[in-house]
Chain A
Amino acid sequence: MDAEKKALVFDVVCAGFAPAELDGWNALTGFSAWSEYLDACETIANDECSVLTDVLASGELMALRHPLGFEEVRAFAARHFTGGLPQSAVPVESLYRAGASGVPAYDGISARYMGDLISSMELDVPERLVSTPDHVAVEAGLAASLYRSDESLADSFVSERFTWLADYRLALVALHDDDRMFFCALIDVVLALVECVRSRKHEAISEINLERK
């Protein structure tokens, strides 16, 4: 699976979970672009190490085929990606990992890592995400950019960074909102992709060992 397809998967997550502008979203979900994305999902699904097909519930498959419009994405984000509500599922990594104080809280260890990483790579983050550098949109955006620059580096970043999405998916599924299926689908695609990248990485490592023996 080529790097551009992987980058596209992360572009969609990046735009979906931090909806900013109408045209940005429409560009991604336009017929040609979206079929490219579905094609990427297809390749992931067919990849022998991925378990995407049985993970994708029927609802999710249907949702993937008809992506939500920008207004629906923005409204979903307004209802569920804001903090302090029972129906909140804020997509920030440190909220799904017990931090130093043992309680999931903002500014956890993943936030400090991503913050240091972004500054050392001289990248800049949109103003409203600057305080949550481990927001899924920031991590996905970085992954997409990495895939367009250095695939092996991207692979190692992706295999390390996105394991928390499984816990996040549980929070998403628990929401009483039909549109959640679309967002769960985006997450499942990433999880499946990460799974492939991780298992491919192990094979790569084991091959190297074989050669060395």
Chain B
Amino acid sequence: MARYGMLINTKKCVGCYTCVAACQRQNNLLPSEQFIRFEERETGVYPTLNVETIPLQCMHCEDAPCAAVCPTGAAHIGTDGIVQVDQGRCIGCKYCMAACPYQVRVVNEETGTVDKCRFCTVSANDGTAMCSCVEACPTGARIFGDLDDPDSEISKAIAETNAQPIAGDLTKSKVFYVR
């Protein structure tokens, strides 16, 4: 049973929004459904500056607060630790949106249900190449893989760069950041 996770290296993120556009194309999402949101931090004083763009998306937490509060069981931790939202059960009460400290869940205006990053990189159903955020990123800032496999690219990268979740131990996040 794998334990999928992602590494995002903000030192390589130039804020070009390709990942969110590719995610919308890959998963056929509404224009208003953006599974990735961005925070931008400007530090330093003119003219020595640094601008950091931080992509944020579902962290697929192992102790997912969204799954804990979801009354209908729509938000649940599925196979391989991927937090999923069963669109057939979701009533759109938005409790999970409140409970998620990363604020990365969005309402599908058409169906009234809530959805979020589905780690679609793992489930290329038609067995072909993916245009998910990981493959689409032009600077290769994202790595996806099995955290339980020590030889996987992501495990090695996390060890090498000492990547940390964005908000420390706020939740057992499975997305690690190099900043």
Partner-B contacts on A (CB < 8 A):
98, 100-103
Closest CB of chain B to A14's CB: distance in Å? 30
Question: How far is B109's CA from A102's CA once the two chains are assembled, in angstroms?
Answer: 8
Task: Flag whether B98 is at the interface (Cβ < 8 A).
Answer: no
Within B18-43, which residues are at the interface with A (CB < 8 Å)? Answer: 28-33
Question: How many residues does chain B have at the interface if contact means C-beta atoms less than 8 Å apart?
Answer: 9
Question: How far is B28's CA from A100's CA once the two chains are assembled, in angstroms?
Answer: 7
Partner-A contacts on B (CB < 8 A):
28-33, 108-110
Given contacts A98-B30, A101-B30, A102-B32, 9 further A-B contacts (CB under 8 A): A98-B110, A101-B28, A101-B29, A101-B31, A102-B31, A102-B33, A102-B108, A102-B109, A103-B31
**Taking CB as reference atom, which chain A residue is nearest B25?**
A101
| A interface, over-half SS | loop
Instruction: Give chain B residues whose Cβ lies under 8 Å from the Cβ of A102.
Output: 29-33, 108-110
**Taking CB as reference atom, which chain B residue is nearest A102?**
B30
**Taking CB as reference atom, which chain A residue is nearest B33?**
A102
Closest CB of chain A to B34's CB: distance in Å? 12
**Taking CB as reference atom, which chain A residue is nearest B32?**
A102
Instruction: Give chain A residues whose Cβ lies under 8 Å from the Cβ of B110.
Output: 98, 102
Question: How far is B111's CA from A102's CA once the two chains are assembled, in angstroms?
Answer: 10
Question: How far is B32's CA from A51's CA once the two chains are assembled, in angstroms?
Answer: 37
Instruction: Give chain A residues whose Cβ lies under 8 Å from the Cβ of B29.
Output: 101-102
Question: How far is B31's CA from A98's CA once the two chains are assembled, in angstroms?
Answer: 11
8 closest A-B pairs by beta carbon, nearest first, are: A102-B30, A102-B110, A98-B110, A100-B28, A103-B31, A102-B31, A101-B30, A101-B28
Closest CB of chain A to B149's CB: distance in Å? 36
Instruction: Give chain B residues whose Cβ lies under 8 Å from the Cβ of A98.
Output: 30, 110
Highest count of chain B CB atoms <10 Å: which of A100, A102, A103: A102
Closest CB of chain A to B29's CB: distance in Å? 8
Instruction: Give chain A residues whose Cβ lies under 8 Å from the Cβ of B108.
Output: 102
Closest CB of chain B to A152's CB: distance in Å? 32
Closest CB of chain B to A97's CB: distance in Å? 10
Question: How far is B55's CA from A23's CA once the two chains are assembled, in angstroms?
Answer: 63
Closest CB of chain B to A24's CB: distance in Å? 39
Highest count of chain A CB atoms <10 Å: which of B30, B32, B108: B30
Closest CB of chain B to A89's CB: distance in Å? 23
Question: How far is B41's CA from A145's CA once the two chains are assembled, in angstroms?
Answer: 64
Q: List 17 contacting pairs A-B, 8 Å CB cutoff, sorted by A.
A: A98-B30, A98-B110, A100-B28, A101-B28, A101-B29, A101-B30, A101-B31, A102-B29, A102-B30, A102-B31, A102-B32, A102-B33, A102-B108, A102-B109, A102-B110, A103-B30, A103-B31
Instruction: Give chain B residues whose Cβ lies under 8 Å from the Cβ of A101.
Output: 28-31
Question: How far is B33's CA from A35's CA once the two chains are assembled, in angstroms?
Answer: 52
Question: How far is B30's CA from A100's CA once the two chains are assembled, in angstroms?
Answer: 8
Closest CB of chain A to B111's CB: distance in Å? 10
Closest CB of chain B to A110's CB: distance in Å? 15
Question: How far is B33's CA from A101's CA once the two chains are assembled, in angstroms?
Answer: 10
Question: How far is B31's CA from A103's CA once the two chains are assembled, in angstroms?
Answer: 8
Question: How far is B37's CA from A143's CA once the two chains are assembled, in angstroms?
Answer: 47
Closest CB of chain B to A190's CB: distance in Å? 26
Question: How far is B27's CA from A102's CA once the two chains are assembled, in angstroms?
Answer: 13
**Taking CB as reference atom, which chain A residue is nearest B24?**
A101
Question: How far is B102's CA from A24's CA once the two chains are assembled, in angstroms?
Answer: 63
Question: How far is B32's CA from A101's CA once the two chains are assembled, in angstroms?
Answer: 10
Question: How far is B147's CA from A168's CA once the two chains are assembled, in angstroms?
Answer: 53
Closest CB of chain A to B106's CB: distance in Å? 12
Closest CB of chain A to B97's CB: distance in Å? 18
Closest CB of chain B to A41's CB: distance in Å? 36
Instruction: Give chain A residues whose Cβ lies under 8 Å from the Cβ of B109.
Output: 102
Instruction: Give chain B residues whose Cβ lies under 8 Å from the Cβ of A103.
Output: 30-31
